[in-house]
Structure 1
Amino acid sequence: MDVLISGASMAGLSAAWWFAHHGHRVTVVERSEGLRPGGAPIDVRGRALATAQRMGILAQIEAEKVRLLEPSPVLDGTGAQVATLDLRWFANETDEDIEITRDRLNRILRDAVSPEVEFRFQASIASLADSAQGVDIGFADGRQARYDLVVGADGLHSSVRRLAFGPEADYVRHFGHYVALVDLPAGQDWHRAMLNVPGLTVAVRDAGDGPQAMVLAASPVIEYDYRDPAAQRRLLDQFLARVDAWQVPAIRAAFADPAAQGFYFDSVSQTHMPQWIKGHVALIGDAAHCAALLSGMGTTLAMVSAETLATAWTAHGGDMQATAAAHDASLRPYVQQCQAFASQGAPIMVPATQQALDERNAMFRATAARFAP
């Protein structure tokens, strides 16, 4: 059968592998000109480890994982060290969990996908008409085609979800924060650490592919064009204007540079949907059930949901009602568990008040003492 996948990130690439593995004809469309570079290091955890094993890529992911460094200093608003953080104390579900850069995992997944899968970059879906015979797709370049199944793996701001299920506002819930990333200029002596003031985190980390800055800022919903980098940089500059210590001025300059590589800005949000399949259209990954960056489970859910959908659809011979029931029964409890992790991560990563920040730092110090050799 013919499957169209929208989006070529972790969910889309995983889906391409699984649908091709089950013998279907697969086409992947991606709005960008290639695999999107950059992004924070991500985790392959829990059920995704078994998924990667069945895909035959677990050993490669393990070989290219982020090598954890020494614990990172935690700084206050003046740049003074007040605690120490080792993510191994908090981040993993199991001892086997793997952290890897987004670029490396993208490459591993893309290389694993069958050469029979067709990739169309700088291509996107403009219209979608579902019927008993399948889904008639109109592409942005004017082409048209019919598919037995359309999979929306196109992220938090999914066009497939909007076309098939309705407006983004019906499903995406702002989690109270914004996140930004940028690759920092090489050749400078960047100090790896995490600075916190209430409602704001600024961190520098090098996961093996060069130094990167991350900002997490508490904020209500802000109206802006999520496809306008200039508007995003202006918002981010307002967040960073609160702090003038440590390396924040240099980090602020890096974020403001339009030529900077790896720039990313978006809301920290979750996707909550009563159903992920409607007619012959299915959603996976962040489009269906984004768990939010603070959960650490987004990549895991992307990979697991791709396998679950492709396996269920194949097992039920394309019967969408049976597929939906099997997919939901297998995945929804896990999605709910993963989304709950975000509520646990927020007080650790972005304490909202000075009291919460002081208590968090005291917890870090106590944990560091407990793990000290």
Structure 2
Amino acid sequence: MRVLVSGAAMAGLSAAHWFARHSCDVTVVERAPRIRRGGAPIDVRGAALGTAERMGVLDRIRAERVPPRVPDDVVGPDGAVRARFAVAWFGDESPDDVEITRDRLADTLRAAVGDGARFRFGTEVTGLDQDDTGVTVTTTQGVDRYDLVVGADGLHSSVRRLAFGPEERFVRHLGLYVALVSLDPGRAWRPGMFNAPGRMASIRDDADGPLGMLMFRSPRLGDDRDADAQRRIAGDVLAADDVWEVPALRAAFRAPDSPGFYFDSVAQTRMPAWHRGRVVLLGDAAHCAALLSGMGTSLAMTGAEFLADAVRRSPGDLAAAFADYEARQRPLVRRAQGSVAGNADIMVPATAAALDRRNALLRETAAAVGA
């Protein structure tokens, strides 16, 4: 079976591994010139730990894990420390969960693929024409024919748009935005988290360099896809805050050449079906749970295993294979997507009263765990 995987992030790399392992002829296309670097640390949790073990990468993931962090100070609008915070208090599925940097996990998954797939970087799917026997795929590099197309190309998936329709039909803005920026490693940064009503900024340094994060509550912004506008928006959100490390963070977000800059809506993908004919979606393209779930990478990994295994068992009946894949994956997705509202209230309280309640909860939790 000839399989095209669109996207070379966690979902696409995992899919390439599993389809190659099941003796498929696999090609991976990625619009970026290389596997993307940078970004916030991510988690391998719950059922994905078993997937990683069956992939043969769990030991390496554990060896590359981010060291456990002491709880961070939480700074209020006046610059005073109001509480302490650790993600593990609210996010871990089990004590075995692993936090790892995106770069290290991507390198681990790419090594697991090995020579099992061809990679074509700087290449994007621009057309799909399918019939009962296959899919004719047009990319920015030419035209080819495949038995199966896997759209693992993220929240703003080109494959989903081509096969299912406009993004607006499936992607739901959750009323928040997130921005990331790599910070100057030569500067001594104070790790921690700043909160004011409706916005949060944080700094962490987990061996691969210091990282700044901003999250803020907002309706959908009209210019949220323009890079210059994104930098301006991120800086403006913090314009009134001059405590802790916020002025330096504000400058880093606004810098026109800021390395590792990322900005996007916090959103979920909601679809009644993840397949159409011989095209099937995986990871955020199918079911983005939003970063506040902490489960996006884990869902990408489990979904890739479930999909490839279902196709292996029913290669002549893709409709049955896709139904099997969805039946196994959807319960995990429903749980992850349902967790986001509560996590948003923890990370970005909307009002001063909500912020006071959150800080009281953090103090109670810290006392309970002896932090």
**So what's the TM-score if we normalise by structure 1?**
0.98
Q: 2:28 corresponds to which residue? A: 28
Distance 1:259 1:319 in 2: 50
Map 1:87-166 to 2 at 5 A: 87-141=87-141, 143-166=142-165
> Residue 120 of structure 1 aligns to which amino acid in structure 2?
R
Work out whether residues 41 and 102 of structure 2, in 8 Å CA contact, stay in contact via their aligned partners in 1.
Answer: yes
> Residue 91 of structure 2 aligns to which amino acid in structure 1?
A
Deviation at 1:9, TM superposition (A): 0.1
- 1:95 aligns to what SS in structure 2? coil
Q: 2:209 corresponds to which residue? A: 210
Per-residue Cα deviation, 1:301-322 (whole angstroms, up to 9, x for no partner): 0101111111101110142210
Deviation at 1:114, TM superposition (A): 3.1
Deviation at 1:372, TM superposition (A): 1.4
Distance 1:94 1:224 in 2: 40
Map 1:56-75 to 2 at 5 A: 56-75=56-75
The worse-fitting range, judged by mean Cα deviation, of 143-152 and 335-344 is 335-344
Work out whether residues 313 and 320 of structure 1, in 8 Å CA contact, stay in contact via their aligned partners in 2.
Answer: yes
Per-residue Cα deviation, 1:232-273 (whole angstroms, up to 9, x for no partner): 112212212131221111111111223222111000000000
Per-residue Cα deviation, 1:322-349 (whole angstroms, up to 9, x for no partner): 0121111111111101111112211100
Match of 1:341 among 330, 339, 348: 339
Match of 1:285 among 283, 286, 299: 283
Distance 2:204 2:17 in 1: 31
Distance 1:25 1:114 in 2: 13
Work out whether residues 182 and 255 of structure 1, in 8 Å CA contact, stay in contact via their aligned partners in 2.
Answer: yes
Match of 1:294 among 292, 295, 306: 292
Per-residue Cα deviation, 1:7-28 (whole angstroms, up to 9, x for no partner): 0000000000000000000000
Map 1:176-325 to 2 at 5 A: 176-224=175-223, 226=225, 228-325=226-323
Per-residue Cα deviation, 1:151-204 (whole angstroms, up to 9, x for no partner): 000000000000000000000000110000011011111000100001100000
- 2:91 aligns to what SS in structure 1? coil
CA root-mean-square deviation: 1.0
Match of 1:350 among 345, 348, 351: 348
Deviation at 1:224, TM superposition (A): 2.1
Structure 2: runs of 5+ lacking an equivalent? none
Work out whether residues 224 and 264 of structure 2, in 8 Å CA contact, stay in contact via their aligned partners in 1.
Answer: no
Deviation at 1:69, TM superposition (A): 2.3
Per-residue Cα deviation, 1:260-312 (whole angstroms, up to 9, x for no partner): 22111000000000000110000000000000011000001010111111110
Identity of aligned residues (%): 54
Work out whether residues 20 and 114 of structure 1, in 8 Å CA contact, stay in contact via their aligned partners in 2.
Answer: no
Work out whether residues 194 and 202 of structure 1, in 8 Å CA contact, stay in contact via their aligned partners in 2.
Answer: yes
Distance 1:78 1:225 in 2: 30
Q: Which runs of 4+ in 1 moved over 6 A?
A: none
Deviation at 1:30, TM superposition (A): 0.4
Structure 1: runs of 5+ lacking an equivalent? none
Distance 1:328 1:108 in 2: 26
- 2:249 aligns to what SS in structure 1? helix
> Residue 279 of structure 1 aligns to which amino acid in structure 2?
G
Work out whether residues 180 and 260 of structure 2, in 8 Å CA contact, stay in contact via their aligned partners in 1.
Answer: yes
Does residue 329 of structure 2 align to residue 331 of structure 1? yes
